[in-house]
Amino acid sequence: MNFNRSANTVAIAVLLLGFACMPAVAEDAGATARAAHMRTVVEVPSDIQKALGLKVLVVREQVLGTGVAANGQIQSLPDRTAQINAPVAGRVLRLAVQSGQPVKTGQMLVVLDSPEIRQLAVEQERVRAESRAQVNAAGSRVNLAKSTYEREKELVALKISARKDFQVAEAELRQAEAELAVARSRLQLSGSALRSRLAGLGQGRALADGSVVLTSPLSGVVTRQQVTAGEAVEPGKTLFDVVNTTQVWATAQVYEKDLGRIRIGQSIEVVTQSYPGRTFKGAIQSIDPVIDPETRTLAVRAVLDNPQGLLKPQMFATLRLVTGQGKPVIVVPSSAVLNVDGKTLVYIQNGDDAFEAQEVVLGTTVGDSVEVKKGVQAGDKVVSERAFQLRAQDLKSRGASFGGDEHGSEDGENTDQTQASEKEQAGQTQVDQDRLPGWLWALGALVLAALAFVSGLQVASRRGTPLASPTVSSDSPYNS
């Protein structure tokens, strides 16, 4: 009876061991299935590759610079910014430009009707007319005095006239010439009041009707318009802001502890959220001499060339001050990296039309390049552009739904569907024989043998026949 109980205990232990191992085996099988699912090779013909816009890059080792990263902002250069103010009181007659419109140096911006300028213009014309009349009268007197002088000179030479008369004629000529000079000076000064007033107009000029035209002092873009047609303006009111952004400032606040690593002329790299994957390069132009006592930072400014006007004033940016060079590492473009189900992947080309997803471990990111610590080797061909399209093609070939943005991240709904599909495939109860390890089949055979042995013991016990005749010693009481 004790023997049967021990056998039952052994059998139950074997069964419990088998059932305990089954989830781990199923989990291992599911993980193996998922890994194989992730490493599936997708075939994409060359014409489809061209249609998808795939580009392949041979992985190389590169030296990534080291430096200080700081958040910053794009700003316009002070000498490339102009504020157009009203030089006189008046009313807006005409607006020639609007906000956002490009302008050139000397281009008309606005026309103002100024009562002050009109009055000065009218007064100038009155004074000028009087001065012209005085000049003409003085010129006539000069001509008359000159004729008298010439006649008296001849008479004196002939000793017909007295020398006193000649001297009087000469004096009258000199006086007439002086009066003509004064009249001409008055004519020249007749517009001095208006010219003096116009000198304070800056880029403005007065027209014949007394209106004032304001022009742009530089080429750029009208960034702000603060006036409308017909509006009355006072002297000093800001009408327009004009900014030239062919060069801009990239300004960052650097902590005091990093001050010893930066200097004038040092290279700088700028990246923005508006243009992912694109790096703008420049050099440090100035460093503030005083540290902010509250933030313990100081401003560092670098000049960036911006011929296409991509960088806008007040745009946020990340500045990286290059302070040295690191060792050569495996580098791929940031556009080649996909984030899928918590994994970081790249697609490696195996053959002309075959691509395989490879999980990688990333390191330092510098600009649009990222270090790969594990998963890719130099010489591998990695899909550098439109990798998310290849991912979609990969999932499509396996019958899975896909959705993602241009950075390779898939939306939550499609990701959940993909995960559910993979879990369902990994958790199927019917596992193919070639997927199960051999020791599992050995364990199953052991369990069946244990069950058969226990069943035999129970049958023998009920029939009262031992499975084998025990050996009885000669002195046993059962021999008597």
Query: Residue 282's domain is classified under what CATH number?
Result: 2.40.30.170
Q: Indicate if 119 and 200 belong to the same structural domain.
A: yes
Report if residue 205 sits inside a domain: yes
Nearest residue to 302 via CA among 314, 318, 286, 313? 286
Q: Indicate if 140 and 26 belong to the same structural domain.
A: no
Nearest residue to 211 via CA among 92, 328, 113? 113
Q: Of 379, 408, 437, which marks where a domain is finished?
A: 408
Q: Indicate if 106 and 49 belong to the same structural domain.
A: no
> What is the DSSP annotation of 366-399?
ETTEEEEEES--TT-EEEEESHHHHHHHHHHHTT
Contact at 8 Å (CB) between 180 and 188? no
Looking at every residue in the chain, the average pLDDT score rounds to 75
Q: Indicate if 238 and 249 belong to the same structural domain.
A: no
Q: Indicate if 102 and 122 belong to the same structural domain.
A: no
Report if residue 153 sits inside a domain: yes
Q: Indicate if 98 and 217 belong to the same structural domain.
A: yes
User: Residue 197 has what pLDDT?
Assistant: 65
Nearest residue to 336 via CA among 37, 54, 51, 41? 54
Report if residue 476 sits inside a domain: no
Contact at 8 Å (CB) between 388 and 372? no
* Two tokens, residue 15: 């069964």
Q: Indicate if 346 and 236 belong to the same structural domain.
A: no
In total, how many domains does the chain have? Answer: 5
Q: Indicate if 85 and 126 belong to the same structural domain.
A: no
Residue 311: exposed, middle, or buried by beta-carbon count in 10 A (0-12, 13-18, 19+)?
buried
* pLDDT tens figures, 335-393: 889 888 888 988 898 887 888 888 899 887 766 778 898 888 888 889 888 888 888 87
Q: Indicate if 32 and 57 belong to the same structural domain.
A: no
The whole-angstrom separation of Cα 293 and Cα 277 is: 35
Report if residue 291 sits inside a domain: yes
The whole-angstrom separation of Cα 275 and Cα 268 is: 17
Distance of CA 125 to the CA centre of its chain: 58
* pLDDT tens figures, 215-246: 999 999 999 899 998 999 998 899 999 999 99
pLDDT at 402 over 50: no
Task: Determine phi and psi for 377, rounding to 5 degrees.
Answer: -120, 160
Note the pTM of the prediction, 2 decimals.
0.47
Q: Indicate if 220 and 232 belong to the same structural domain.
A: yes
Report if residue 475 sits inside a domain: no
Q: Indicate if 231 and 89 belong to the same structural domain.
A: yes
Contact at 8 Å (CB) between 281 and 321? no
What is the residue range of 73's domain? 67-78+244-327
Cα distances (angstroms) measured from residue 178 to each of 101, 153, 192, 328: 56, 21, 22, 89
The whole-angstrom separation of Cα 384 and Cα 404 is: 17
Amino acid at 369: S
Q: Of 198, 219, 243, which marks where a domain is finished?
A: 243
* pLDDT tens figures, 425-472: 444 434 344 444 555 556 666 766 666 565 555 545 555 444 443 333
Query: Residue 51's domain is classified under what CATH number?
Result: 2.40.420.20
User: Residue 455 has what pLDDT?
Assistant: 58
Contact at 8 Å (CB) between 184 and 132? no
Report if residue 469 sits inside a domain: no
Q: Of 327, 356, 391, which marks where a domain is finished?
A: 327
Q: Indicate if 150 and 99 belong to the same structural domain.
A: no
Report if residue 470 sits inside a domain: no
Report if residue 468 sits inside a domain: no
Query: Residue 239's domain is classified under what CATH number?
Result: 2.40.50.100
